[in-house]
C-alpha cells in the first residue's frame, strides 16, 4: 500500500527581484596547503543571508537557499530572487532549507526543496518539488511533511539525498523539545524517511506493513542529521548527526537500524556536563554505534564525498562541514572505519553550513553567516 501526505494550498511569492551583483572569481586565499592537495579559495558570491544549501543547474548557475529570505539564482555573480516559493516559517532554526536536483533533472526538471512549514500547532519539516521557469517555481507539488507539529522551532534535519534506485532519503531531527520522540517509531521525528520521487512510500521500506512503525521510516534514533551523502563507489549512505555537548557522530545509514538517540549517546548534558538525562548508557545491544565521534565538537552540517579528477588525492574521502568548529574535516574511510582526519579551512569562511561537489568537479562551501558566501576550492 502506498501512502502520501497532502497539504493545504501554498502561498506564493509574487515578484522577481534582483538581489545584487558581486565580483565572481574573487580569490580569498591563494595556495592553501594541505597534506595532499594545494588549492585556491575563491569566493563565488557574497551578501547571502544565512545560506543553507546549494544546488547546481546544468547551465552553470547555482541555486542557493537562504534560511530566512528564500532562494536565489546565482549567475556570473548576479543574484536574482526566486519567486513561487511555499509559505515557509523562518523562526529559530527553521526557514528555507535544502535544495537538490532530481538525478534525471535534464529530462524532468524537478527540483526538491525542504523547508519548515508552520501553523498554530507549531512547525514541521516539509518537502516539495517544483520546476524552475526563469526565476519562478512552477508546477509546485507538496510531497511530504513530518507527522507531528512541534514547538519550539529546532532540529529540523531536512537534508535530502537521492539513492541509486531513484528513491530519496530525507532526514528529520528530533525537534529538540522531547528527545525520546526519536525512539517513537510512529513519530517521524529523529528519523530518516525514504520516499519515491513522487512522495509515495516505497513498497520495500523496512517497516511497511508493521503497524508499530510509520511506513516512511528508513532508520531512526537520530538527533539532527544535517549532512548526508551517497558514496558513488560503494553505494553507502553516510550522515553526520549533531550530538548534545559532544557526541557529534558520523553514521553509516542502513535500512531498519536504530541509532540509539537519546537512549544511548556519547554526548553530555548541555548545562551540567553530566550524562544526558534521557540516556540509559553510552552503548546498548541492538542500537547501532557511530562509525566515528567528532572530538572536539564539530556541530556538523553539510557532507560531501569526493569523486573528482580535480581532487584525485582526496578520491573517496568525506568532507564534513562544521558550524561551531568553523572548519571542514577531511575523513579517510577504509572498510567503514575512519583511519585519518585532516582539518581544512579553519576559520577561513566562518560557520560551514554546506559542502558539495559541483558537476564541474570543484568543491563548493556555504558559510552560515548574516553576510554569508558561496566559496569554491580550486586545486592547483
Per the listing, cell 506493513 goes with 209
Compute CA 308 distance to the chain's CA centroid, rounded to the nearest angstrom.
21
The closest of 248, 232, 253 to 169, measured between CA atoms, is 253
> Is residue 231 annotated as a catalytic residue, yes or no?
no
Q: Say if residue 296 is preceded by a cis peptide, omega within 30 of 0.
A: yes
264, burial (CB in 10 Å: exposed 0-12, middle 13-18, buried 19+): buried
List the beta bridge partners of residue 52. none
Q: Which long-range contacts (CB under 8 A, 24 or more apart) does 90-94 make?
A: 90/116, 91/116, 91/118, 91/123, 91/153, 92/152, 92/153, 92/154, 93/67, 93/153, 93/154, 93/155, 93/156, 94/67, 94/118, 94/123, 94/153, 94/156
The closest of 255, 198, 211 to 2, measured between CA atoms, is 198
Selected catalytic residue, list 50, 155, 218, 242: 155
Eight-state DSSP code of residue 288: P
Catalytic residue ranges: 155
Amino acid at each position: 500500500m502506498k501512502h502520501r501526505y497532502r497539504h493545504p494550498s501554498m502561498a506564493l511569492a509574487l515578484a522577481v527581484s534582483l538581489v545584487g551583483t558581486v565580483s565572481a572569481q574573487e580569490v580569498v586565499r591563494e595556495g592553501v596547503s594541505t597534506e595532499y592537495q594545494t588549492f585556491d579559495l575563491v569566493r563565488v558570491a557574497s551578501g547571502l543571508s544565512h545560506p543553507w544549501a546549494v544546488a547546481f543547474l546544468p547551465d552553470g548557475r547555482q541555486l542557493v537557499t537562504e534560511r530566512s529570505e528564500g532562494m536565489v539564482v546565482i549567475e556570473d555573480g548576479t543574484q536574482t530572487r526566486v519567486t513561487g516559493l511555499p509559505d515557509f516559517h523562518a523562526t529559530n532554526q527553521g526557514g528555507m532549507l535544502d535544495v537538490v536536483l532530481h538525478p534525471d533533472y535534464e529530462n524532468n526538471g524537478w527540483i526538491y526543496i525542504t523547508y519548515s512549514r508552520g501553523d498554530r500547532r507549531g512547525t514541521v519539516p516539509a518537502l516539495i518539488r517544483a520546476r524552475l521557469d526563469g526565476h519562478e517555481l512552477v508546477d509546485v507539488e507538496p510531497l511530504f511533511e513530518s507527522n507531528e507539529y512541534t514547538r519550539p522551532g529546532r532540529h529540523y534535519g531536512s537534508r535530502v539525498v537521492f539513492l541509486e534506485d531513484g528513491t530519496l532519503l530525507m532526514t528529520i531531527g528530533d525537534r529538540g523539545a522531547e528527545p525520546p520522540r526519536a525512539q517513537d517509531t510512529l513519530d517521524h521525528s529523529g528519523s530518516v524517511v525514504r520516499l519515491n520521487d513522487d512522495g509515495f512510500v516505497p513498497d520495500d521500506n523496512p517497516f511497511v506493513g508493521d503497524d508499530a512503525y510509520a511506513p516512511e521510516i528508513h532508520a531512526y534514533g537520530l538527533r539532527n542529521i544535517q549532512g548526508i551523502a551517497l558514496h558513488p563507489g560503494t553505494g553507502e549512505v553516510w550522515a553526520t548527526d549533531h550530538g548534545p555537548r559532544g557526541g557529534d557522530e558520523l553514521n553509516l545509514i542502513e535500512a531498519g537500524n536504530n541509532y540509539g538517540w537519546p537512549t544511548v549517546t556519547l554526548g553530555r548534558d548541555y548545562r551540567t556536563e553530566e550524562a544526558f538525562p534521557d540516556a540509559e548508557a553510552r552503548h546498548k545491544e541492538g542500537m547501532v554505534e557511530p562509525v566515528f565521534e567528532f572530538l572536539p565538537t564539530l556541530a556538523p552540517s553539510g557532507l560531501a564525498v569526493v569523486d573528482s579528477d580535480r581532487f584525485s588525492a582526496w578520491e573517496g574521502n568525506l568532507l564534513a562541514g562544521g558550524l561551531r568548529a568553523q572548519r571542514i574535516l577531511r575523513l579517510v574511510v577504509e572498510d567503514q572505519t575512519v583511519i585519518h582526519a585532516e582539518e581544512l579551512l579553519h576559520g577561513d569562511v566562518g560557520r560551514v553550513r554546506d559542502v558539495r561537489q559541483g558537476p564541474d568537479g570543484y568543491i563548493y562551501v556555504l558559510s552560515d553567516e548574516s553576510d554569508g558566501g558561496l566559496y569554491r576550492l580550486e586545486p592547483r
